[in-house]
Amino acid sequence: MKPMGLTLLGALCNVVLALAIAPFFEGVLRKVTALVQSRKGPPIYQPYMDIAKLLIKEDIEVGHNPLMQRFSALLSLGAILVVTLFIPITGASPLAHYADSIQLIYILSLAGIAVLLAALSAGSTYSMVGMSREMMSMMTLEPLFAVAVVMAAVKTGSLRLDAVFGGAIFTPGPISAACMLVVMLFAFQAFIGRAPFDVTEAETEIMEGPLIEYSGPKLALFKYAFMVKLFVYAGLFTAIFMPRFAALNWALNLAFFIACQFVLVLLATLVAATHARYRIDQVVRYYAILFAAALVCLVAALFGI
Each residue of 3-25: pLDDT tens digit?
666 678 888 888 999 999 999 99
**For the chain, domain boundaries:** 4-302
pLDDT of residue 208: 63
Taking CA atoms, 27 is separated from 43, 85, 198, 227, 294, in Å, by 7, 24, 18, 10, 32
pLDDT for res 19: 94
| pLDDT > 90 in the chain, percent | 35
Query: Which of 211-220 are b and which e, b meaning 16 or more Cβ less than 10 Å from the residue's Cβ?
Result: bbbbbbbbbb
pTM higher than 0.85 for the full model? Answer: yes
Helix axes 46-56, 4-36, angle to 10 degrees: 110
Q: Measured on CA atoms in the order 163, 14, 139, 23, is the torsion positive or negative?
A: negative
Q: What is the spatial distance between Cα 231 and Cα 84, in angstroms, rounded to a whole number?
A: 9
Average pLDDT rounded to a whole number, residues 266-292: 89
Q: Which DSSP letter does residue 210 get? A: G
Which residues, at least 6 apart from 252, have a Cβ–Cβ distance to it below 8 Å?
A: 245
Q: pLDDT averaged over the chain?
A: 86
Quick: pLDDT tens for 130-163. 888 888 888 888 899 999 998 888 888 888 888 8
pLDDT of amino acid 213: 83
* Residue 300, SS3 per DSSP: helix
pLDDT digits over 224-243, tens only? Answer: 999 999 999 999 998 888 76
- Tally Cβ neighbours within 10 Å of residue 187: 23
Neighbours of 3 (CB within 10 A): 8
pLDDT in tens, 29-80: 999 988 888 888 889 999 999 999 999 998 877 767 888 899 999 999 999 9
Task: Say if CB 235 and CB 191 are below 8 A apart.
Answer: no
The predicted pLDDT at position 206 comes to: 54
